[in-house]
Amino acid sequence: MPRIERSAAVVWEGSLARGGGRISAASSGAFSVLPYTNATRVGAPGPNTSPEELLAAAHAACFANSLAAELSGLGTPPGRLELSCLIIMDEVAGEGHRIVGSEVSVAAAVEALDAEGLAHAVELADRSCPFSILLRAAGARVEVRSTLLDAGS
């Protein structure tokens, strides 16, 4: 696989307490002007996003690609994958705020696959997902739970 480079752009105006920012997908233009503030980052999200929410989206999307590749490699390509991810940031003594966990939930509809086969594919995907690898290397706990859906779903 060739080297992959993507970029995002952020504009921030004002102080941390009263300022705000906008995040845009610089590479693709797929999204622009996603607003975020520190208040909605550490409090109720409201209508704004946060770096942690974007990381959750990125981890879930990356994991979906890894799982689709593993299932296809095993001869059981997925019919449908539904993923969600919860990123956990917490205060770590002496270090400040750190991403301490990522919890990925997978629901998969795959013909001719049982729960044991799905668990095996999920384990392989977790070992190959670049975001799972990155988060673990940074000291975060990564947990993945999976459920097999009816392939007719």
In this structure, what CATH number is given to the domain that contains residue 80? 3.30.300.20
* Residue 139 φ/ψ region, left for φ over 0, alpha for ψ in the -120 to 50 degree band, beta for the rest: left
Tens-place pLDDT, residues 96-136: 999 999 999 999 999 999 999 999 999 999 999 999 999 99
Its pTM stands at 0.92
Percentage above 90 pLDDT, the chain? 85
At residue 98, what is the residue type?
A: R
Q: What is the pLDDT of residues 6-29, one digit of tens each?
A: 999 999 999 999 999 999 999 999
What is the tally of structural domains in the chain? 2
Residues 144 and 79 in one domain: yes
Instruction: Give the pLDDT confidence score for residue 153 in this predicted structure.
Output: 55
| DSSP per-residue letters across 96-150 | EEEEEEEEEEEEEE-TT--HHHHHHHHHHHHHH-HHHHHHHHTT-EEEEEEEEEP
DSSP state of 150: P
Are 21 and 81 part of one and the same domain?
A: no
Burial of residue 11 (CB within 10 Å: 0-12, 13-18, 19+) is exposed
Residues 149, 109: contact at Cβ < 8 Å?
Answer: yes
